[in-house]
Amino acid sequence: MSGLPVRSTIRATAVGLAAALVAALVAGCAEDKTASFSLNVVFPSTALAIACDEVKFIVFDDPNPGACQRIYLKRITNQPDLPPVVLDAAPVPVCDVALGRTQPLELPVGKHSILAVATREKQDLLVGCADVALSSDGGEVFVDLALPGATLVPPLSSCLSLRDACEKRCE
């Protein structure tokens, strides 16, 4: 025998088991809940939507008021000190985003900033950000895109609709 009385050994074992149970419950409660969200963008014009190749969504963990404004300004001025990234989704063709052909993304529930970047030839063309409170119900998130400051407007297409451009009915 180890030298400890049986009663002390049982009490120590019970306390150890209770501590392990509490730790397991706390860890289970601390897990991030996720929900399914469709991310959408609002283009400033059909012509600029047609000029874009892809849209990229980056979800930041920054629940502070005004976070999007800071993130937007840092992105368009190439500053590297952005908040922690929760999700950096692969770029999606603009036609898939505009015509609703994208899959919803699993995002953590809570307050986040969602940056949307529409690119042309791998360069940022349109940028937008939305501060959102994502609930466990899921749903849709819309991000308004804008042409940052001194960005040059690309040549315009002869297409009158994004659907025509996506279906290659015009130049």
- pLDDT tens digits, 105-144: 899 999 999 999 999 999 999 999 999 988 999 889 999 9
The per-residue pLDDT for 114 is 94
Confidence class of residue 3 from pLDDT cuts 50, 70 and 90? low
User: 65-92 burial by CB neighbour count: b if 16+ within 10 A, else e?
Assistant: eebbebbbeebbeeeeeebeebbeeeeb
Say which DSSP state 129 is in.
E
The per-residue pLDDT for 17 is 36
CA distance 22 to 159: 62
pTM for the predicted model, two decimal places: 0.77
Cβ(146)–Cβ(45) below 8 Å: no
Domain segments of the chain: what residues?
1-31, 32-166
DSSP bridge pairs for 37: 105, 139
CA distance 151 to 125: 7
Q: Which helix H or strand E contains 35, and what residues bound it?
A: strand 34-42
pLDDT digit string (tens) for 24-54? 333 334 456 999 998 899 999 999 999 999 9
User: Which class is domain 32-166?
Assistant: mainly beta
